[in-house]
């Protein structure tokens, strides 16, 4: 397989692993002061190759792009917790199902999206339209060596009484490539995002992204990344299991008593002088479930994404997803995951702190 696309998928895999965590506690720090930077926009298929030089006091590339929206003929979407996603430049509209703007910083692949790239004086940025499917399988004129693998893929949709298993022979390297190749067999629909392949329909079942997702297991273990980051090995067994973002407690379903936990929940919005502390009694297992239960008390608005709950408003304060995020602390330590992955324990102290990227 082409090493160029390997590089793309490698970056995407890393983002998938950290996607939910990035805006939670890994955001870079901006640099104050005036800077001169260059920006090159390349769309080979339309013979577009233009370079701009900007003087700016902004700290992040996303802010500069927004300010220069007219000059760049820029269109974009704001994704809660993820920042700016470019949908068009210089009159060209991106087909988000198959292509994207790849970012280079001083000739190197960017580690973040445009909202997370800190501007530095003299930096050179390139936005180049690329496709995940237009490569020819060679690198520097040499064919990549591939090895055939046999893997199994099981799809379980319990609510629809569906449980089907497939065996595939493949030379692809990543699970997303196999799913894309076998889309007809799997009756799969999907989208290509900045974070890789996102399945929206499988076996004819359309996934309600607001409440459910396909949980991925690899050889019986929870996957650490999405399908675009799973490197296949001969004999691997994969399971896509439809699950809810807020699953019912098994003990409650069986009529048994559940453990009640008492936790402290602190919200700090420094820019608004908001610092409020709550004590909740809950039988929920995950912080996101508790927060959802207490949405009215917390004056909460949120979205459910592939990475779990993303808060858009709290205590009447609307988050600016392009420039700030809610940092999560668990018992005074940085959280290792988002709210949907934090298991509640009796006596825990959770804190949400507003922070700038």
SS (H, E, C) 286-323: EHHHHHHHCCCCCCCEEEEECCEEEEEEECCEECCCCC
User: What is the CATH topology of the domain spanning 3-131?
Assistant: Ferric Hydroxamate Uptake Protein; Chain A, domain 1 (2.170.130)
The one-character DSSP state at 245 is S
Start-to-end CA distance of the chain, whole Å, equals 36
Question: Could you give the CA distance from residue 292 to residue 269 in angstroms, rounded to a whole number?
Answer: 19
From the centroid of its chain, how far is CA 207? 17
Residue partners of 155: CB distance under 8 A and separation at least 6: 162, 163, 164, 165, 166, 186, 202, 203, 239, 240
Burial 196-211 (b: 16+ CB within 10 A, else e): bbbbeebbebebeeee
Is the domain spanning 261-356 CATH 3.10.129.10? The answer is no
State the maximum Cα–Cα separation within the chain, in Å, rounded to a whole number: 66
Q: Return the domain boundaries, the chain.
A: 3-131, 146-244, 261-356
| pLDDT at residue 218, rounded to an integer | 93
Residue partners of 66: CB distance under 8 A and separation at least 6: 74, 76, 84, 322
The one-character DSSP state at 23 is I
Which tens digit of pLDDT belongs to each residue from 227-267? Answer: 888 999 999 999 999 998 754 444 444 444 458 999 999 99
CATH topology agreement for domains 146-244 and 261-356: yes
Could you give the 3-state DSSP secondary structure of residue 247? coil
Which tens digit of pLDDT belongs to each residue from 344-355? Answer: 999 999 999 999
Which tens digit of pLDDT belongs to each residue from 6-63? Answer: 555 555 555 445 554 544 444 566 678 899 999 999 999 889 999 999 999 998 898 8
Residue partners of 108: CB distance under 8 A and separation at least 6: none
| pLDDT at residue 141, rounded to an integer | 40
pTM of the prediction? 0.36
Please provide the CATH number assigned to the domain covering 146-244. Answer: 2.170.130.30
């Amino acid at each position: 397989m082409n090493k160029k696309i390997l590089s793309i998928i490698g970056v995407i895999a890393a983002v998938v692993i950290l996607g939910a965590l990035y805006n939670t506690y890994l955001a870079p720090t901006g640099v104050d002061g005036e800077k001169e930077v260059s920006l090159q926009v390349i769309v080979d298929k339309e013979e577009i190759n233009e370079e701009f030089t900007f003087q700016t006091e902004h700290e992040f590339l996303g802010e500069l792009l927004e300010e220069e929206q007219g000059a760049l003929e820029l269109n974009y979407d704001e994704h809660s917790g993820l920042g700016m996603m470019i949908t068009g430049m210089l009159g060209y509209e991106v087909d988000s199902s198959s292509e994207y703007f790849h970012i280079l910083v001083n000739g190197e692949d960017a580690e973040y999206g445009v909202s997370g790239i800190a501007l530095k004086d003299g930096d050179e940025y390139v936005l180049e339209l690329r496709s995940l499917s237009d490569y020819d399988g060679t690198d520097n004129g040499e064919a990549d060596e591939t090895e055939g693998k046999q893997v199994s893929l099981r799809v379980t949709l319990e609510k629809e009484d569906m449980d089907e298993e497939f065996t595939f022979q493949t030379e692809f390297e990543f699970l997303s490539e196999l799913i894309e190749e076998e889309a007809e067999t799997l009756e799969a629909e999907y989208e290509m995002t900045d974070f890789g392949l996102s399945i929206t329909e499988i076996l004819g079942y359309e996934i309600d992204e607001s409440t459910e997702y396909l949980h991925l297991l690899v050889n019986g273990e929870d996957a650490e990344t999405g399908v675009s980051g799973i490197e296949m090995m001969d004999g691997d067994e994969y399971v896509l299991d439809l699950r809810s973002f807020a699953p019912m407690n098994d003990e409650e379903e069986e009529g048994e008593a559940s453990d009640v936990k008492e936790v402290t929940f602190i919200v700090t919005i420094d820019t608004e002088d908001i610092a409020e502390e709550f004590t909740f009694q809950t039988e929920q297992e995950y912080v996101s479930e508790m927060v959802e239960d207490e949405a009215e008390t917390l004056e909460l608005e949120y979205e459910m994404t592939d990475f779990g709950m993303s808060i858009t408003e709290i205590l009447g304060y609307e988050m600016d997803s392009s420039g700030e995020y809610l940092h999560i602390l668990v018992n005074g330590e940085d959280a290792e995951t988002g709210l949907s992955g934090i298991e509640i324990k009796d006596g825990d102290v959770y804190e949400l702190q507003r922070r700038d990227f």
